[in-house]
Structure 1
Amino acid sequence: MVDKDTAPAPNSTARAKARIIAPVQRELRVAGWLSLVAGALWPVQAAAIAWAVSGWTAGLPPMDRTWIATTVFVVCAILRAGLEHRSGALLYQAADQTIARERAVLIAREAHAPTNAGSASIASLVVQKLPLLQPWITRYHVAMLRASVLPLLLLILAFSQSWVVGLTLLVAGPLIPVFMALVGMAAEDASRRQLDEIATMNDMLMDRLSAMLDIRLLGAADRVAIVFSDRAESLRIKTMAVLRIAFLSSTVLELFSALGVAMVAVFVGFTLLGEINFGSWGMPLTLGQGLFLLLIAPEFFQPLRDLAAAWHDRAAGFAVVSELDALDAADRVAFVGSGLPSDAMEGSISIITRGAVVVRGGQHVRIPDFALTSGETLALTGPSGVGKSSAMAAIAGLVPLHSGEIMVNDRRLNAQTADAWRRRIAMIPQRPHFPDETLGAWLDTGQTGGDPWPALRLADANGIVERLPYGLDTRLGETGGGVSGGEARRLLLARAIHTGADLILADEPTADLDAETAARIIAALQRMQREGRSIIVATHDPDLAAAMDRQVEVPL
């Protein structure tokens, strides 16, 4: 397939085609030729109609030509429908494969090596923007092939009947792609601005939702609503800019094609009336020839109109690919290890940190030097933003060290040992998250089929499950609907215990809890220690810090 793309940035077209089009080039080529053959059948149908009508006007018996023309027309129509159906199936299959591939790569990469881009930006790219590749794949490349061949075929047929009609189409046709190319550059810029605004609004939404409690306490709900209204208005303006370009360009293109068809119709009409005596090759234009020209004239412009419409899909596709390229080039925090199942690291739990530094969000976070042995507990303290959560992630082998070292069970924590080390630990996040599965399945992370009730009792969470309407078969909402924040934390503790982990890493396990609920969490952690588990907590809570064997402050 010959592609005549142009793009505003050097090599952007080549990169986009290599990434999106090349893997499905075969499907696009086959689909394009199927659609092309289907389009080439229309002149046969038009000739059958013109031949039948000219026979009627010549005084021949009505059915002499009707049956033959009808048979040809119906057979061609069935063939066209079959070819277009198969072509569409191939195109949508190619689009689905491409979107699924890009989505899988994006999700897997962000899970193992995230960037500083917000989760809302990634979600909008995965859910809202990647599907914009579908119209580009399913419409543009087939439209380009049809526009490259069918108008030329119809132009030759038009010239064979009348040089005036052929010349009319030859002059009117090129105006469409010329104008289309000019509009396409503006459409691509408008599409990119619209996609940027979608990402900005999604980021804002996630940020405000996570801070909703603080917003309500500060009485800032009205202000936030005003800001959202402003952003929504900005998105509306950018969306309307895209639609305005599409509608205005479509209007102009329709005008060109309508004028071209009208000029052909005027010429044919006045020729058949005897008012025009030129334009045909020697013999006067017959009714059959005139009707044939009138039937193929709109189809001469149709591939160009389809390409003009698909040009906007191409613009949106390039905008998405540009965003994917930008995300590819973004700085990332690499995941340590492969993240694949591994045998648990042998040996008694021990951790030693020496001059360890990690880089998170462009900031260097220093991890305090300490040593922890089996059965000991430790509290990492310090003001908000100092890097306690980053330190926990480094100890878990989730982020690489910039400098220094962390020794675990007398082995250096690195890509070779991280997977085995993580089999010995369980992390308790600050914000609970419950997937769409039963509570029993969620507690049994390894799908061992073990009894979760001992872990629930140790975490003081057995009463929570007993009160739920379906017990272990209950499905909690994403943020733990049906249980309080403290109850969700105790369920997280039970889950960590049920894994059999020897080291528990808990990030702010008592944050935002009342004194009584926090005390129950602290008591559960102490029971876990008495059973031989090592525990590291990151906390602001002085009571929780005091309950640990030692406290270490994360330096600024």
Structure 2
Amino acid sequence: MNKSNYAWLMTESKPAHRWLFLSIMVGILSGIVIIIQSKLLSTIIDQVYLHHATLHTLSLLLIGFCLLIFLRVGFSALREIISFNSAKTIKTNLREKCFAHLMTLAPNQLSALKTGELTSTLIEQIEALHGFFADYFPQMVITVVLPLIILITVFTQNWLAGLLLLITAPLIPLFMALIGMGTAKLNQDNFEALSRMSAYFLDLLQGLTTLSLFNQARAQFNTIQTISNDYREKTMRILRIAFLSTATLELFSTISIAIIAVYLGLGLLGFLKIGFSGVHITLAQALFILLLAPEFFMPLRQLGTFYHARAEAIGAATEIINILKTNSNTKKPSSPVLFSEKNILINMEEVDFAYSDNKKILDHFSLTAPQGSCIAITGPSGVGKSTLLQLIAKFIYPQSGAIFANGINIMDIDDDSWREHITLLHQQIRLFHGSIFDNITLANLNASKNEVELAAQLAGVLDFTQHLPQKLNTPIGEQNSGLSGGQAQRVALARIILKDTPIVLLDEPTSHLDNANASIILNLLGTWRGKKTVIIATHDQKIVEMVDHVYELKLLGEKN
């Protein structure tokens, strides 16, 4: 799993290859500046301490040293900007890819996804990739190149010091690899726990009123506390490993530097001559090597610091990959038909549909709906009335049989093109955060104010908005907050009127309306008669008496 996730992360870095290359080059150039700076500093100290050089004779070296300090600071700032842009590019591209993939899923697939878990993945878990692409990925390349440059430089000064660095260097990446084996799995578990916790909290918040009515709100306290403590313990376990591993990495590098410092000190005192090109080591040589030793381990130590970003990204990648691997059950024709006819004859021929293998909803169902006809679908709850409307809207697809529009199988028609000819009023009305006016114009963004007001009047929306201070500009909160069920249904009905399609599908349109407001539906049916094809799933006897034809569905037996 870790290897496949890591390979996926590498693939996703392609949109930011230029930014990543610039980040790597700036990091390497910054390291080369440090080498030159160390050489100048060791020379300056040697000249002052042993040769009693004056400020005048060292002026050029001091100016160069100061310029290198500013150059190094500039490189560091530039690398931060470049690294941020590289991670931002990848995260933006990944979010767009996830949203594009979600849009390919059928509506029933989207409704099956847990909102809290999906939100956590698209926000927190994609954001968790930032450290990998901004820090770890460029540092991984720098860790290979820069220590090699420093090692070659040290070998030119003293082969034994270079050999000591060469021997001790692999200990750090080896230890990081051992840490990574455990932390990647811990991070993956942690993100899964976060997704579950987000979904659970959102469900509780959305159902808080129901829980309070049944006196179960306080009973959820212990469950929330257990889930929160579990997440806290997982997080603290990861942090504990991070702190301990950082301390261990520092210990390895400190011991290595100390060994080199002792060796150089003994060389300066004349006790050791092995490894030096001359009989005696100079102070400039010793200082230069000693200054380079920490810089040799610095990229490795930084990689160790960023290694947890790698483990975090690998853990987060699992949930993101799961979204992208969700197979769409949308059936796309190879050459979709762009449907543009206004007079539409709908035929359902021998349609079968089942949500599961052991229970069929529709069995060889056939229906004919001529242009301008009004048809009622009746039957007990759970018999498949809403399913039938969703089949016509192409939200779901029949297992066998076919649905034709003017002789064209709707499976061969482009989804967007077909839905331009259809409006569907669901039982569960979904309005969005914004004004009532905004929610109505969702059906036609180019509609004029007069057209919106006319649709609102026909749907009975103006009957209640006229008593509101902001009229149609009254804001709607989350989950239709601020409106009653009947008012929300009238707003949704105004959307259908404004879209003005030749086919109208209504799912229990009077379920949230009293007798006075139900007359709005009856009046609209009279207005639409002969002009629109209206198919209604209903229990309302008044609607049944008005339609041209009634199809009664019956419960089918379960298979053994």
* TM-score class normalised by the smaller sequence: 0.7 to 0.9
Structure 1 contact 341–419 (Cα < 8 Å) conserved: no
Counterparts of 2:417 and 2:121, CA distance in 1: 33
Check 1:343–1:534 CA distance in 2 against 1; reply closer, same or farther (3 A cut): closer
Q: If the length of structure 1 is used for normalisation, what is the TM-score?
A: 0.86
1:356 and 2:351 are equivalent in the alignment: yes
Residue number in structure 2 paired with 1:322: 318
CA-CA distance at 1:270 after TM superposition: 5.1
**Matching residue's letter, 2:187:** S
CA-CA distance at 1:102 after TM superposition: 1.8
1:117-136 residue pairs with structure 2 within 5 A?
117-136=113-132
Structure 1 contact 28–142 (Cα < 8 Å) conserved: yes
Tell me the percent identity.
Answer: 25
Residue number in structure 1 paired with 2:487: 487
Residue number in structure 2 paired with 1:54: 46
Residue number in structure 1 paired with 2:381: 383
Counterparts of 1:297 and 1:98, CA distance in 2: 35
Pairing partner for 1:259 from 255, 260, 263: 255
CA-CA distance at 1:479 after TM superposition: 2.4
3-state SS of paired residue (2:348):
strand
3-state SS of paired residue (1:215):
helix
Counterparts of 2:85 and 2:136, CA distance in 1: 15
Counterparts of 1:464 and 1:108, CA distance in 2: 38
Which runs of 5 or more structure 1 residues have no equivalent in the other structure?
1-6
1:56-135 residue pairs with structure 2 within 5 A?
56-114=48-106, 115=109, 116-135=112-131
CA-CA distance at 1:503 after TM superposition: 3.3
Residue number in structure 1 paired with 2:167: 171
CA-CA distance at 1:63 after TM superposition: 0.8
1:448 and 2:421 are equivalent in the alignment: no
Residue number in structure 1 paired with 2:410: 413
1:205-230 deviation per Cα after TM superposition (whole angstroms, max 9, x unaligned): 34334443432332222233322222
Residue number in structure 1 paired with 2:36: 44
3-state SS of paired residue (2:451):
coil
Matched residues, number = 540
Pairing partner for 2:286 from 290, 314, 319: 290
Check 1:416–1:504 CA distance in 2 against 1; reply closer, same or farther (3 A cut): closer
**Matching residue's letter, 2:362:** R
Check 1:159–1:422 CA distance in 2 against 1; reply closer, same or farther (3 A cut): closer
Counterparts of 1:522 and 1:336, CA distance in 2: 39
Structure 1 contact 351–406 (Cα < 8 Å) conserved: yes
Range that drifts further, 138-147 or 447-456: 447-456
Pairing partner for 1:17 from 10, 19, 33: 10
3-state SS of paired residue (1:283):
coil
3-state SS of paired residue (1:398):
coil
Counterparts of 2:414 and 2:138, CA distance in 1: 51
**Matching residue's letter, 2:68:** C
Structure 1 contact 112–335 (Cα < 8 Å) conserved: no
Check 1:48–1:381 CA distance in 2 against 1; reply closer, same or farther (3 A cut): farther
3-state SS of paired residue (1:123):
helix
**Matching residue's letter, 2:200:** M
3-state SS of paired residue (2:219):
helix
Counterparts of 1:410 and 1:209, CA distance in 2: 48
Counterparts of 1:302 and 1:261, CA distance in 2: 11
Counterparts of 2:264 and 2:292, CA distance in 1: 13
Check 1:117–1:474 CA distance in 2 against 1; reply closer, same or farther (3 A cut): closer
Which runs of 5 or more structure 2 residues have no equivalent in the other structure?
none
Residue number in structure 2 paired with 1:527: 523
Residue number in structure 2 paired with 1:32: 24
1:335-484 residue pairs with structure 2 within 5 A?
344-348=340-344, 350-358=345-353, 360=355, 365-366=361-362, 368-373=365-370, 374-384=372-382, 387-416=384-413, 418-444=415-441, 445-446=443-444, 447-449=446-448, 450-484=450-484
Counterparts of 2:432 and 2:144, CA distance in 1: 51
**Matching residue's letter, 1:392:** L
Counterparts of 1:544 and 1:39, CA distance in 2: 82
RMSD in angstroms over aligned alpha carbons? Answer: 3.1
Structure 1 contact 183–249 (Cα < 8 Å) conserved: yes
**Matching residue's letter, 2:10:** K
CA-CA distance at 1:179 after TM superposition: 0.7
Counterparts of 1:210 and 1:376, CA distance in 2: 37
1:159 and 2:155 are equivalent in the alignment: yes
Check 1:369–1:34 CA distance in 2 against 1; reply closer, same or farther (3 A cut): same
Structure 2 contact 154–162 (Cα < 8 Å) conserved: yes
Check 1:551–1:239 CA distance in 2 against 1; reply closer, same or farther (3 A cut): farther
CA-CA distance at 1:458 after TM superposition: 1.9
Counterparts of 1:387 and 1:255, CA distance in 2: 69
Counterparts of 2:225 and 2:380, CA distance in 1: 38
Counterparts of 2:166 and 2:555, CA distance in 1: 76
Q: If the length of structure 2 is used for normalisation, what is the TM-score?
A: 0.86
Residue number in structure 2 paired with 1:3: none
Residue number in structure 2 paired with 1:500: 500
**Matching residue's letter, 1:393:** Q
CA-CA distance at 1:137 after TM superposition: 1.3
Check 1:29–1:471 CA distance in 2 against 1; reply closer, same or farther (3 A cut): same
Structure 1 contact 360–390 (Cα < 8 Å) conserved: no
Structure 2 contact 15–93 (Cα < 8 Å) conserved: no
Counterparts of 1:235 and 1:181, CA distance in 2: 25
**Matching residue's letter, 1:265:** A
CA-CA distance at 1:8 after TM superposition: 4.6
Structure 1 contact 424–501 (Cα < 8 Å) conserved: yes
Counterparts of 1:406 and 1:355, CA distance in 2: 9
Counterparts of 1:426 and 1:508, CA distance in 2: 14
Check 1:552–1:421 CA distance in 2 against 1; reply closer, same or farther (3 A cut): farther
